[in-house]
Structures are given as structure tokens and as C-alpha cells.
Structure 1
């Protein structure tokens, strides 16, 4: 099993992220003692103290790159992680992706592996903003963001895929954003079984300025703006409007 975490100037959040990943890995090792898990953090063009956070996690592999594209960073981390176990077949290797500003639940990895055992080639999970988000904005987010089984969202912060299927569709593209959406689109087109689940939800930062112009932080920024413009008791906006404004 491979866990890949891209990070760009994430000194404030990476420690909590890796602590949560450690809990999830520990649960895998208890439930599946024969499973090997490798965690890789991809430090992409960091100019802060993100690298120093890794001193507290010596068991986590580190890859330094200067790519500036989250899709390329994810792909580089996957390539680096898999080269340490070239003999393990891709069809028996599970890849889990999250982001450095998120915290995964303890059952995040075991849940994905359970779906894989039932034939899933990919697991598309959901996220929720942390409690730093003002309550009215959080209510607006909940009103417009389904987290149930069969949801339609795609988040690189909560995504798992069998490695052979990842390879078959060409992996993550070197994009600044939406590389996760593009990967899932190609997996769907390939006809594999995708599970879109509300379980194993990842808590992510509620910051309004992110690392990409149209990512989750931009989405939350739009919700803040809409809250400022509308009566906070009235959602008053469609999901399509939120999505359109989030991507500019």
C-alpha cells in the first residue's frame, strides 16, 4: 500500500496530517499484519519550514521537487514510492492520496482496502472543512455539498485507486489543479468499479487562500463571499453558481 501526500508550504498543517495518517496506518497493520504500507510526502517548491516537520516522522519518506503542479507532484510521489518495492504486483497494490492540510480518520485506509476486497478499482471519498470555518458559512457548505453514498464530488484529499488501474489510465496529469477529477473521469471511462462513499471523510483546512487558484480553498472563499452578500439564514445560491464562481 502506498500513501502519497503532496505538500507546498504546509508547515502549519503537515504535522497534524501525518499524525492522522499514522493512526490510519496503525489500524491497517493491526487488521492486516501482512500488509506493507509506505508513506511518501512530496515537498514541492517549499519556502517555509515544511521540511522540518518531517523530522518528527522519520518513518515517512521524503521527496523534494520543484514542479509547482500538484498533479505532477502526486505522480512523482507515486513513482518514488513504488520504486522501493518493484516486485510487488501493481494489481495487488493500493494507492491512497490525501493533502497536507487535511486529517484523515483512523478507518480511512482500512475502509478503502475493504472496498478493494469487494472489487473496487477506486474509492472516491468526501471531505469536510474543519471547525475554523464560521458557523453560517459551514451551514452554507453543508447545504450545497452532499457527503452521502453515491455523491458526485472528487477530492484529491480523499482518493484511493488500485495501482494497475492508475497505470492503465495514465496516472495523474501534470496539472495545477483538477488532476484528481481528470483521473476519475478516465477511470469511469475505462469501466472499472468506482465506489463513491461518504464514509472515511477527511477533514480539511478551512483556509480561503489555497495552493491552487480553483481548489477547495477557492470554493470556500466563494462561500464566504456569498455569505457576505446574502442573508446568512438563506442559502440563496445554487451549487452551479458556487462552482462557477469558484473556478472564476
Structure 2
């Protein structure tokens, strides 16, 4: 198995180093029989993101789409062309748990699956109201069989990805659209709370209607 961890990044100089360090830690937990590597897709970056990625000696490609669906798809197709058989998607403002990749491999080994939808933990509630935190926790299903979809924690077979046509060129909800394609084609999907990432609670969204927008709107209702 060859795993590519595809990470879109648009001006993520404040977060990309922590993201890449956590990915490396997750890779180190894998057995020697599995190859894994990160691939950063730099999307119109004007800050120091590129320099940080280069300093980390991580593979990267560049584009200027300003469209997360296109950015993810470009990176994934590049990875598949390089021989990746399993794709793990995350975001540059997220940090992986140490067993993030190992849990994916365990799911694949125990009960073959074509896609894994994982869960996210919020990194910091300090700047948000207690009501926002309570509302979020009440809404979120942190359990096996949940139905949450996060581009920051979505992994799948490269073969199945190609077969369904991949991520659509959407500026938001590209992850929901891809999961629906897998469902429509009858692929097996595992909804796991064992595959976890910690994601940023920032409210300045990189993508409209993404996770940051969700938190921001929740906070507005509670102010």
C-alpha cells in the first residue's frame, strides 16, 4: 500500500508546520510494508507557506485556483499518477492524531472499505462563548456510524476515486459531493470516530461555507 496525504494550502504559514509535523508522526507509526508521504498543494500562496514546506522537505505542487475542489483534485490525481493507492485528505490548519493513518489501515484490514469518513476535534474553545461550545457538542455525533463529512479527515481508495470522477470543482461542500458519488456508485464507506484530527477553531474562513463558517455562524447566533 502506498498512501498519499494530500493537503491544500492557501496562505497557511501560521499552521502548516504543525500540520506537517503531525503527519510525519502519524507516518512513523506505520509498518515498514506501507509507504506514506505528504503532498502539499499550494494554492495562490502569497505568504511564507512555500518556504515552510520547503524547509520541511515535503513534496509540493503549485496552482492558483482559489477553489478547494479543484485544488484537492489536482493533488490527488498527481498522487495517483505517482503510484498512490490510498489517499488521505486533510487541511493545513489541522493536526493529525498519532494513530490517524494506522487507524485507517486497521479499518481497511479488518473490513475492506473504499472510503473512511473520520471525525474532528476542535483545538480551542477559549475565544468562543460557552453556549457555542455546548451547541456544537450537542450537535456533533462523536461515535462510530456518525454521518459527519469533513474534507480535513476523508480518505479513500485511489481506484474508486478515479472511477467516480473525483472531487468536483466546487468552492465548498466538495467533500459532501464526493461522498455522495461514492454512495451512488455503491462503494463501501466506513464512518469512524477512531480516525481523528484536531482542527482549527478560527473563524476567518479560507473557504465559504466550510467549518470556520459553521463555527462563525454558530457564534453569531449566541452573541
Q: TM-score, normalised by structure 2?
A: 0.94
Aligned counterpart in structure 2 of residue 162 of structure 1, from 154, 157, 165: 157
Q: Which residue of the partner structure matches residue 13 of structure 1?
A: 15
Q: Is the 8 A contact 1:11 1:48 kept in 2?
A: yes
Give the whole-Å Cα distance in 2 for the aligned partners of 1:63 and 1:5.
10
Q: Which residue of the partner structure matches residue 196 of structure 1?
A: 191
Query: Does 2:113 match 1:120?
Result: yes
Deviations 1:63-96 (CA, angstroms, capped at 9, x unpaired): 11111111111111112223333xx7xxxx1110
Q: Is the 8 A contact 1:104 1:200 kept in 2?
A: no
Give the whole-Å Cα distance in 2 for the aligned partners of 1:155 and 1:190.
20
**Structure 2 residue matching 1:115: 3-state secondary structure:** helix
**Structure 2 residue matching 1:138: 3-state secondary structure:** helix
RMSD: 1.3
Cα distance change of structure 1 residues 205 and 185 upon mapping to structure 2, 3 Å threshold: same
Deviation at residue 195 of structure 1 after TM alignment: 0.5
Deviation at residue 138 of structure 1 after TM alignment: 2.0
Deviations 1:162-216 (CA, angstroms, capped at 9, x unpaired): 1111111111111111111100001011112110011122111111111111000
**Structure 2 residue matching 1:39: 3-state secondary structure:** strand
Give the whole-Å Cα distance in 1 for the aligned partners of 2:125 and 2:21.
19
Structure with greater strand percent: 2
Q: Which ranges of structure 1 fall in alignment gaps of 5 or more residues?
A: 229-248
Give the whole-Å Cα distance in 2 for the aligned partners of 1:39 and 1:201.
17
Runs of 4 or more consecutive aligned structure 1 residues displaced over 4 Å after TM superposition: none
Query: Does 2:103 match 1:105?
Result: no
Higher alpha-carbon Rg:
1
> What does residue range 73-88 of structure 1 map to in structure 2 within 5 Å?
73-85=71-83
Q: Which residue of the partner structure matches residue 61 of structure 1?
A: 59
Q: Is the 8 A contact 1:39 1:81 kept in 2?
A: no
**Structure 2 residue matching 1:125: 3-state secondary structure:** strand
Q: Is the 8 A contact 2:27 2:37 kept in 1?
A: no
Give the whole-Å Cα distance in 1 for the aligned partners of 2:47 and 2:117.
31
Q: Is the 8 A contact 1:116 1:122 kept in 2?
A: no
Q: Is the 8 A contact 2:80 2:158 kept in 1?
A: no
Q: TM-score, normalised by structure 1?
A: 0.84
